[in-house]
Structure formats: structure tokens, C-alpha cells
């Protein structure tokens, strides 16, 4: 008996990801959301509750999207070391080409909010754990296949990779546009494998 929803909730969430990613939580106003999502104030609050709930939902969706593509990458990878370089090279490409560089939504949120919002802190921490596990499994596989040096323990390498990924995303967020800087970092990172 009801009118059907005219907007796609997931599409709206994708829009929310965009603007929260770009401006941060505190930097995004309710008016920004109305403008960017194309929803009315009322629809927005009826659908998502409030700003914090919308943010959490956006961040979780972003996380899922990234984890999915990360898993897919490693599943289809013949060479693990190549796959790892692809991840970093992709991050570099995004950092250089984005006219407005947004870095990583998860990293940005961790820095801005993890200390002050326990719910965000949990998401960030879970994400770290899961990504680390994915890296760790991949490294192990790579070591078994003789594609990655086993002079370092897989867990240790995984954490190291995660750390450098965060660093590069911060660099991007800070607006670094010199490809050589990224390439130098990558060169050092992969000297370890």
C-alpha cells in the first residue's frame, strides 16, 4: 500500500562516502549531505537516522567494498609479490591522478574519530585486523610458492605492509604529487621481499 522508494539507498550511501571521505565527519554539514545526496532533509533523516549513523553506515560500506576487491585481487593472483606491487602502484596512481586527493577514507576516519567515537574505533580496529590477516595469508602463500623471501615472518611482513600503506595514504591526503617520492618508498619496501 506504500509508495516505493524513489532513490537507491546504496547509491545514496556511495554519495555519502564521497563527501565524508572528502570533507571528513566534522567538516561535513547536514546541508552538505542534502546537497550532495540529492535527498531532502526529511528523507535523509527518515532513512538513515542521524549524521553519525549515516557516517558509520558509509564507512562500513567503504570497508566492505575495499575488502572485497582486496580478496578478489589475491584470489586471482598468480604471483603474490606482483599482486602486492599492484596494490601499491594502484594507490600511487590514485594519489597522483585525483585532482582532489582524498587519501583513504578509513585512515582519515581513524585519525579524525577513532579517539572520540568508540563505534568508529571498533570499525577501524576490525578493519586493521582483517586486512592484516589478508596480507598475512597472502604473504604465507607467496613464501610457500617461493615468490617472497621468508627471511621475515609473514605476520611481521603483513603488519609492515599495512603500515606503509597507511603512510602512503597519508602522503596522498597531504597532497604529495611527486611520483618520485612514492616510487622511492616502494623501492625500499619491495627490497625487503
Partner DNA sequence: AAAAATACGGAACAATCGTTCCTGAATTAG
Partner DNA sequence: CTAATTCAGGAACGATTGTTCCGTATTTTT
Which residues form the interface with DNA (CB under 7 A)? 1-7, 28-31, 38-43, 45-47, 50-52
Near its own copies by CB under 8 A: residue from 9, 38, 153, 179:
153
Choose the stretch contacting its own copies; rule: CB under 8 A; options: 30-38, 41-49, 63-71, 155-163. Answer: 155-163
Secondary structure of 64-112 in HEC code, one letter for each residue: HHHHHHHHHHHHCCCCHHHHHHHHHHHHHHHHHHCCCCCCCHHHHHHHH
Question: Least distance (Å) from its own copies to the CB of residue 42?
Answer: 26
Q: How many CB atoms lie within 10 A of CB 72?
A: 10
- Binding residues among 21-80 for its own copies as defined by CB under 8 A: 22-24, 26-27
Closest distance to its own copies from the beta carbon of 40 (Å): 26
How far apart CA 98 and CA 147 sit, in angstroms, is 32
Residues 6+ apart with CB under 8 A from 162: 128, 131, 132, 135
Cell 579517539: give the residue. 115
Residues that bind its own copies in the complex, under the rule CB under 8 A: 22-24, 26-27, 100-103, 107-108, 110-112, 114-116, 121, 124-125, 128, 151-153, 155-157, 159-160, 162-168, 170-171, 173-176, 181, 184-185, 187-189, 191-192
Amino acid at each position: 500500500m506504500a509508495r516505493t522508494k524513489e532513490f537507491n539507498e546504496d547509491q545514496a550511501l556511495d554519495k555519502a562516502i564521497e563527501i565524508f571521505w572528502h570533507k571528513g565527519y566534522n567538516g561535513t554539514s547536514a546541508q552538505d549531505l542534502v546537497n550532495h545526496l540529492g535527498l531532502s532533509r526529511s528523507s535523509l533523516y527518515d532513512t538513515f537516522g542521524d549524521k553519525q549513523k549515516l557516517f558509520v553506515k558509509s564507512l562500513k560500506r567503504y570497508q566492505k567494498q575495499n575488502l572485497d576487491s582486496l580478496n578478489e585481487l589475491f584470489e586471482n593472483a598468480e604471483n603474490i609479490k606482483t599482486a602486492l606491487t599492484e596494490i601499491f602502484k594502484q594507490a600511487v596512481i590514485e594519489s597522483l591522478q585525483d585532482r582532489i586527493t582524498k587519501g583513504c577514507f578509513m585512515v582519515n576516519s581513524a585519525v579524525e574519530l577513532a579517539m572520540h567515537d568508540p563505534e568508529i574505533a571498533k570499525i577501524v580496529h576490525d578493519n586493521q585486523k582483517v586486512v592484516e590477516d589478508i596480507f598475512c595469508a597472502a604473504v604465507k602463500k607467496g613464501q610457500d610458492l617461493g615468490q617472497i623471501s621468508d627471511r621475515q615472518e609473514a605476520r611481521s611482513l603483513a603488519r609492515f605492509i599495512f603500515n606503509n600503506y597507511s603512510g602512503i595514504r597519508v602522503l596522498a591526503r597531504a597532497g604529495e604529487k611527486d611520483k618520485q617520492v612514492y616510487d622511492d618508498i616502494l623501492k625500499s619496501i619491495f627490497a625487503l621481499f
